[in-house]
With several copies, the nearest count.
Chain A
């Protein structure tokens, strides 16, 4: 159930994964981008953890606290995208507690922010199949991993990775990997399945 606690649990799992894999995310980004995706998100992870220490009152303000932490600390493309996603969750959670609906709205806001669609080798290539699976109630770790893996063979046409063009093929998208962590933790907390 969507509560302040489950969100906090979800977030703490995510931030732990980010920090444990900071170097790996930087490495992935240095192959096709500018090598800072892990550092960017690690700054955000610290900020999220700090924000959740003073536990917010309700679900929307929990999402808002996470959103503000990301928005003010991450920077770069991923800061805007994850920030947009959580700001949208904040807004949508005032109307519904259906996590699938909330995720769907967040994804649409990200697509708009990034002027981008699935298939462009971005984090959206994880969001789209996972949200689709969530609607049908069949999210599994394998679904998530497959989505992350699917970015490997794509050619980047958005973000910094688009500058390396063809050479981006054969490498995972760093944002897809960090979104993979996000959904694995969401699944473990039981908010999707």
Chain B
């Protein structure tokens, strides 16, 4: 009899991987998150910390860990809805997250710009309104790789979402109202831009083969976090050249001016060692210094991954308001981000 050959991922059953991951998170970090019975929704454990505050939720397909459940906790998210891998969650689950996150001050949803997510969160919002819960939202579309026009779905939401969550989380924790949070999100959004480069694609467990294939010496600029196609393939370049290309695209958007202040996030896609990410950040910061630009907040690591994809993304947030930097540095206590 032929033995079953398991796909080389640490899992039991590809169809149960999300459920088992959600359980694993709740079992490993009960001080941060708990699972809503029978749902793929994780909620902040420290309930007292949410009293009288606007609830902040997000969600979407999984496979981007630690995003987003890793950011549940004091000073950041109230609840996260986990869809199947790379696939939007359903409205009933989102509704449950809204209901649990509502502490009388309404709920704000951070949605990444994918048509499935938008529609499902929209349905949930309509249902919540019937429950008399005040729900507002922002659609994050920081990925500048995609042309933004009426002829496309628009830009995708990628790693910049984490900075949006950090800032709004600080505001919510400080007692901002739902309208204030909505206004803040709208203010921040146009200043938040990300661009990535992939060295290899992710393999979705149920699919069992990578989303695309790059030659041994090829990279692809602008790939999305679900292996969506990028804008150019070329021969692998040294780190400094990769940084140059990504910064050039960001400069097209921002028009770097000496004395501009930015938050800078280098995000590993999943399989790229921290060593490489730090080398890349060094090149980015040196080149930003050449532009005369100030980097006031810098972070390096796996914040918004794409399963086992290799590569990095670079996010810049132009700090138009001093308050935003304070909000980035505001105390936070989650699985994946802690600041005293």
Contact = CB atoms under 8 A, between A and B. Distances in A.
A163 B146 contact: yes
A185 interface: no
A83 B89 contact: no
Contact of A76 (B116, B122, B146, B152): B116
A147 to B, nearest CB: 21
Given A71-B90, A84-B123, A163-B152, A79 B116 contact: yes
B130 interface: no
A157 B88 contact: no
B115 interface: yes
B115 A83 contact: no
B115 A157 contact: no
A13 interface: no
B224 interface: yes
B114 interface: yes
B91 A77 contact: no
16 contacts: A36-B84, A72-B92, A73-B90, A75-B120, A77-B115, A77-B116, A79-B88, A79-B120, A80-B116, A84-B119, A113-B119, A157-B150, A162-B153, A164-B229, A165-B147, A167-B229
A115 B318 CA distance: 30
Given A74-B90, A114-B119, A158-B115, 19 more contacts: A35-B207, A36-B84, A36-B87, A71-B92, A72-B91, A75-B90, A76-B116, A80-B119, A80-B122, A83-B91, A83-B123, A113-B119, A114-B115, A157-B150, A159-B115, A160-B115, A160-B116, A160-B226, A163-B156
Contacts of A159: 115-116, 153
Nearest to B153: A162
A81 interface: yes
A75 B123 contact: no
Interface residues of A, number: 31
Interface in A146-191: 157-160, 162-165, 167
A40 interface: yes
A39 interface: yes
Given A113-B123, A163-B146, A163-B228, A71 B115 contact: no
B119 A163 contact: no
Interface string B75-101: 000000001101111111100000000
B253 interface: no
Interface size class, chain B: 20 to 34
Contact of B87 (A76, A115, A164): A76
B88 A160 contact: no
A73 B206 CA distance: 17
B119 A71 contact: no
Nearest to B227: A34
Contacts of B118: 115
A80 B123 contact: yes
Interface in B219-241: 224, 226, 228-229
Nearest to B145: A163
Contacts of A167: 229
A158 B153 contact: yes
Nearest to A167: B229
A26 B152 CA distance: 22
Interface string B109-130: 0000011101110110000000
A36 B224 CA distance: 17
Contacts of B116: 75-80, 159-160
Pairs of residues from A and B, 8 with the lowest C-beta to C-beta distance, nearest first: A80-B119, A77-B116, A76-B116, A162-B153, A162-B152, A159-B115, A163-B228, A72-B92
Interface in A1-41: 34-36, 39-40
Given A34-B86, A71-B92, A160 B114 contact: yes
Nearest to A72: B92
B6 interface: no
A71 B87 contact: no
